[in-house]
Amino acid sequence: MAASSDQDVRTERAPDPAGSVPTGGDGALLHALKLVREAVPPLHPGGRPVIAGVAVAAGALRLLTGRGTGVGLLATAATAAFFRSPHRVAPPRPGAVLAPADGTVALISEVVPPPELDLPREPVTRVSVFLSVLDVHVQRIPMHGRIRSVEYRPGAFLSADLDKASEDNERNALVLETQTGHAIGVVQIAGLLARRIRCDVAAGDEVAAGETYGLIRFGSRVDTYLPPGVAPEVALGQRTIGGETVLAELKPADATTGADLAVPA
């Protein structure tokens, strides 16, 4: 009997239980780097110049004094952490008004919206989320819809947890026309340490729930003005996760008022 050639021999390998995870030395290193990259949240573009400035200052201090390496690295890392913009997944809940920011619910009150929002002059529920310097400081869109207006107002820099900060502090206000036919006001408010408000949307922009639209640097507050008659689903002192925590739930406008107020195409 003739011996079988090596070319006639076929060995079928069992599927790799690790899936596509590489097993070689270089592959394991690449996989580890991928895991680290996925664990570290991306940075908001508005923070990159600030981080670069801190890093340059730390490097200059090290060159001039021969000291401060550890402090400089710590300061740079802390600044980078402040400008983190983690990935968020909006809950699949129709009509949900999502929290526009990470933080703590500091105030829930019935107030007349500020003039710059150009909303009906009647009391509505305002939910105020206070952001400490340790919180994520990017802001997120609360619902699918269209930006109706954006207006910036200069002002003071009082502590953002004070009620009068809504009227006295530097702030940036936008009105969102939602696909449910409502208008929601969202106001970025500077605080004691905040000296810069960034807003990356303009009137007429189509936006999606949970997407980032702005940034407030170093301690601040974000107010959400709910439509008339809508009750909040959060409590004072509750922690919110921007783009995920539900502040309230809206029903189609025609179901509550008898009018078709859908956002025009």
pLDDT in tens, 50-60: 767 777 777 78
165 shares its domain with 60: no
Higher per-residue pLDDT: 130 or 36 = 130
Active site residues: 220
In this prediction, residues 153-182 reach a mean pLDDT of 83
Domain final position from 28, 56, 82: 82
Higher per-residue pLDDT: 225 or 82 = 225
Q: What is the pLDDT of residue 73?
A: 77
Q: What is the pLDDT of residue 11?
A: 42
Residue 187 predicted with pLDDT over 70: yes
116 shares its domain with 202: yes
136 shares its domain with 182: yes
Domain annotation covers residue 4: no
Q: What is the pLDDT of residue 211?
A: 94
Domain annotation covers residue 261: no
Distance CA 223, CA 242 (A): 13
Q: What is the pLDDT of residue 76?
A: 72
171 shares its domain with 236: yes
pLDDT band with cut points at 50, 70 and 90 for residue 74? confident
Q: Cβ(112)–Cβ(177) under 8 Å?
A: no
Q: What is the pLDDT of residue 264?
A: 34
Host domain of residue 128: 96-252
Answering whether pTM is above 0.75, one says: no
118 shares its domain with 221: yes
Domain annotation covers residue 15: no
Of the listed ranges 81-90, 99-108, 193-202, the least confidently predicted one is 81-90
204 shares its domain with 142: yes
164 shares its domain with 54: no
146 shares its domain with 245: yes
In this prediction, residues 238-252 reach a mean pLDDT of 93
Q: How far is CA 120 from CA 46, 116, 147, in A?
A: 33, 11, 17
Residue 242 predicted with pLDDT over 90: yes
48 shares its domain with 160: no
140 shares its domain with 243: yes
201 shares its domain with 102: yes
Question: What is the C-alpha R_g of the chain?
Answer: 25
Domain annotation covers residue 145: yes
Give the total number of structural domains in the chain. 2
258 by Cβ neighbours in 10 Å (0-12 / 13-18 / 19+) ranks as exposed
| SS3 assignment for the chain | CCCCCHHHCCCCCCCCCCCCCCCCHHHHHHHHHHHHHHHCCCECHHHHHHHHHHHHHHHHHHHHHCCCHHHHHHHHHHHHHHCECCCCCCCCCCCEEECCCCEEEEEEEEECCCHHHCCCCCCEEEEEEEECCCCCCEEECCCCEEEEEEEEECCECCCCCCCCHHHHECEEEEEEEECCCCEEEEEEEECCCCCCEEECCCCCCEECCCCEEEEECCCEEEEEECCCCCCCCCCCCCEECCCCCEEEECCCHHHHHCCCCCCCC
71 shares its domain with 164: no
Residue 84 predicted with pLDDT over 90: no
